Structure 1
Amino acid sequence: MRSRLWWGTTAAVLGLLAAGCGSDSGNGDTASDAAAKPASDGYPVTATDCMGAKTTFSEAPEKIVTSNASSLELLLRLGIGDKVIGTGFPPGKGTLPGDLDAQAQKVKVLSQTVIPKEKLLGSGADLYLDTFGAMEGMGGGMEDALTKEEFKAAGIKHVYLKSTACAAMNKSLVTDLSAVENDITSLGQVTGTSAKAKELVMGMKTKVDAVQKAVGGAAENDRPTYFFFDYDAGTKQPMAVCNRQVANAVITLAGARNVFSDCDGDFKQVGWEDVIAKNPDWIQLGVRNRGSEATNKKAFDEAQKWLETNSATKGLKTVKEGHFLRIGSEQTTIAGAENADTVEEIAKTLYPGKVG
Structure 2
Amino acid sequence: MKKRATLLLTAVILSSQIFAGCGNQKSDESAAASISNSSLLSASSASGASTSTAYPLTIQTRGSDFISIDQTFEKVPERIVTANASSIDMLYRLGLQDKIIGTIAIDNEPGNEWADLYESLPKLGDKMTISKEVIAEAEPDIIIGRSATFEEGTFGSIVELNALGINVYAQKASDMSTAVTMESIIDDVRNLGEIFDVQDRAKEYADSLENRLSTVTKTVRDATGTDIKKVVVMATYQEGNFVVFGANAKLQNGILQTLNAENVMEKGGNGLTLENMVSANPDAIIYITSTRNKDIDVSAKEALLNESLLSSVPAIADKKIIEVPYDAFMDYGVRNFDTLEELADFLYNK
Structure 1 residue 321, shift from structure 2 partner: 3.2
Given that 1:23 and 1:55 are in contact with CA atoms closer than 8 Å, whether structure 2 keeps it comes out as no
Say which one has the larger Rg. Answer: 2
Given that 1:240 and 1:270 are in contact with CA atoms closer than 8 Å, whether structure 2 keeps it comes out as no
- Where 2:54 maps in the other structure, the secondary structure is coil
* Aligned equivalents of 2:55, 2:90: Cα separation in 1: 21
Q: Which amino acid aligns with 2:278?
A: I
Structure 1 residue 312, shift from structure 2 partner: 6.3
Identity %: 24
Partner of 1:14: none
Partner of 2:81: 65
* Aligned equivalents of 1:250, 1:111: Cα separation in 2: 31
Deviations 1:64-87 (A, max 9, x none): 111122222221121111111111
* Aligned equivalents of 1:235, 1:24: Cα separation in 2: 53
Q: After the TM superposition, which residues 156-167 of structure 1 pair with which residues of structure 2 at under 5 Å, given as runs? A: 156-164=166-174, 166-167=175-176
**1:112 maps onto 2:122 in alignment:** no
Any gaps of 5 or more consecutive residues in structure 1?
1-21, 29-37, 137-141
**1:351 maps onto 2:318 in alignment:** no
How many residues matched? 302
Partner of 2:185: 180
Over 3 Å counting, the alpha-carbon distance change for 1:177 and 1:148 in structure 2 is closer
Q: Which moved more, 1:344-353 or 1:216-225?
A: 216-225
Given that 2:231 and 2:286 are in contact with CA atoms closer than 8 Å, whether structure 1 keeps it comes out as yes
Any gaps of 5 or more consecutive residues in structure 2?
1-16, 24-49
Given that 1:185 and 1:198 are in contact with CA atoms closer than 8 Å, whether structure 2 keeps it comes out as yes
- Where 1:242 maps in the other structure, the secondary structure is coil
Richer in helix (by share): 2
Q: Which amino acid aligns with 1:228?
A: V
Partner of 1:222: 227
Q: After the TM superposition, which residues 78-117 of structure 1 pair with which residues of structure 2 at under 5 Å, given as runs? A: 78-90=94-106, 95-98=110-113, 100-113=114-127, 115-117=130-132
Partner of 1:278: 280
Given that 2:61 and 2:168 are in contact with CA atoms closer than 8 Å, whether structure 1 keeps it comes out as no
Over 3 Å counting, the alpha-carbon distance change for 1:232 and 1:58 in structure 2 is farther
Given that 1:251 and 1:258 are in contact with CA atoms closer than 8 Å, whether structure 2 keeps it comes out as yes
Which of the residues 145, 156, 166 maps onto 1:130?
A: 145
For normalisation by structure 2, the TM-score amounts to: 0.74
Q: Which amino acid aligns with 2:142?
A: L
Deviations 1:257-279 (A, max 9, x none): 3223xx37xx4558344432220
State the structure with bigger RCO (CA 8 A, min sep 6), 1 or 2. 1
Given that 2:22 and 2:165 are in contact with CA atoms closer than 8 Å, whether structure 1 keeps it comes out as yes
Partner of 1:259: 264
- Where 1:350 maps in the other structure, the secondary structure is helix
**1:54 maps onto 2:70 in alignment:** yes
Deviations 1:59-111 (A, max 9, x none): 11111111122222221121111111111123756x3122x111121111111
Partner of 1:340: 337
Cα RMSD (Å): 3.4
Given that 1:69 and 1:87 are in contact with CA atoms closer than 8 Å, whether structure 2 keeps it comes out as no
